[in-house]
A and B are shown apart, each in its own frame.
Chain A
Amino acid sequence: MSTDHHKQSFWTKYVFSTDHKIIGIQYGITSLVWLLFGFALMMVMRYQLAYPESPVPFVGGLLGDGGILPSEMYNSLGAMHGTIMIFLGVVPLAFGAFGNYFVPLQIGAIDMAFPKLNAASYWMYFVGSVIMAVGFFVPGGAANSGWTSYPPLADIATTGQTVWLLGMIMLITSSLLGSINILATVIQLRTEGMTWMKLPIFVWTQFITAFLLLLAFPPLEAAGVLQLMDRLAGTSFFMPSGLVVSGEVLTNAGGGSPLLWQHLFWFLAHPEVYVLILPAFGIVTEIIANNTRKPIQGYKSLVYSMVFLGFMSFIVWAHHMYLTGMGTSIGAFFQTTTMIISIPSVVILTALLLSLWGGSIRFNTPMLFALGFLPMFGIGGLTGLPLGLAAADIHLHDTYYVIGHFHYVVAPGTIFALFAGIYYWFPKMTGKRTNELLGKLHFFFSFIFMNGVFMPMFIQGLAGVSRRLWDGGEYYAHAADVLYLNEVMSMSAWLLGLSQLFFIINMIISLKGEKTGEANPWDATTLDWTDTTSPPLGHGNFETVPSVYRGPYEYSVPSASNDFSPQSEKG
């Protein structure tokens, strides 16, 4: 396929582009918009939690019933917040945007292995997200059975659930095409000298993530098909016999198993959480190496840990199902694998922390977010341990403790890493610099308010406050002492939202700013920085395709004249 200069219309150059950099930006902008929207949904929910049954400001007009959030709509907001943040926000940004833009650059490739497939995967994501949005407008509103869509409830829920299933099928297909592309690209298109153990950790994380998505998503697609059959064709795959709904016995054939859905769902959804964290590990590693001016401690340990983590992630899923009445043998099996999987995570976090030791640390905005990631991920990971132990989970399952745990890993965890990546790679993508003051303000306020939102959740969870309660626990005596925290968390959430203005304004003024045209302002070692212009050439990325002679993090090599030695520089 020749990529010589042919006339391109606006549509082929920017809209239906097959260039991985444009597609990466398309994924990036779309996913950031969805992240904002998903955040907005949560801000409405938090108003109800802080001030139950009082009219919601600004959006009250949309809600009917005097501007108060109805309970079914609360459930829709909850289910869609989860779905949007995970499938329309974080994964497309971490994998679709960063992966597409930087994997080819870091391995010395002129594009992804299958550029047209790449464009197709973006547009399928876009269409899938539109379908999800449509759910809000159908009778009964958007899906409201949790992002986990458990039957029997999801089987008999309103039309929005069918829309959710159709949207998921589109999104899963998009994801599969993307995974195939990343895997084939990394395996086949590494430039000369780029051996597996010279790959930047960022590429390793994208590669492993792609494998997880490839093998784990299809069973959920199968389950989605089965749930669609239950809802549209009257089958009973997930419907047990003799179900009574609103006083009436259902007439379907029965004999189905709600547990079957849970197995198929969590078979994906557990590897999915590693999909959420692995790209973050990759981005943070790049930034820490660059801003300590020394090699990463334990490159091999990182690689082996991540590969092991990837494999283990497939055999821990039923720790989400400890309370389903499954037998003690299988519970013990999953508890064991779950405990084992915490080990590679600790190795990874330790390697990153040790990498700071003796470093010449530069506290720029990307580095602040990367450093902030470390303890936040630590808290998220540690709070996972009592959940992974079946006995403790009896008390904590389906409480706010769980919500606190997973938000710590994804929100001040992954999302901080993604912000770090945006600030780090902004100069490469645009040739311009971001404003450091605004970046630092964004970081400090986000850090404070993230903890303000999520730390109290552990307290509420330990007190026994259940998740997915429209009234935030108001009607339960055991919640009385910790109810005041709802207002604290909601205030923090709204202030966290306001803090994002620093980021939005920074992006706008920086994009309008002067082009410095610096190719490598961070003095980095990897091919994306050392062998491309800022931004990289439209066709083919490199003036000359580089060969690789060194590892990815050769900073402060004793004999070198600079404190960094590019991968493409001969030894």
Chain B
Amino acid sequence: MTHEITSDNKNAKMKDDQAAALVVAQAFIVFSAIYWFTQIESVRELLQLAYG
């Protein structure tokens, strides 16, 4: 009985840790993609202004 409760707790904790990791990882990946895209775009525009 105690063993089952411990196992359930471990599973619940694993699910929670996975969900938290998924949320944060998604946020970081989306943010990084947008950030570096805008940085590359601004460099491209600057180069276009400088060299046509």
Bound together: no
Q: Which residues from chain A sit less than 8 Å from chain B, CB to CB?
A: none
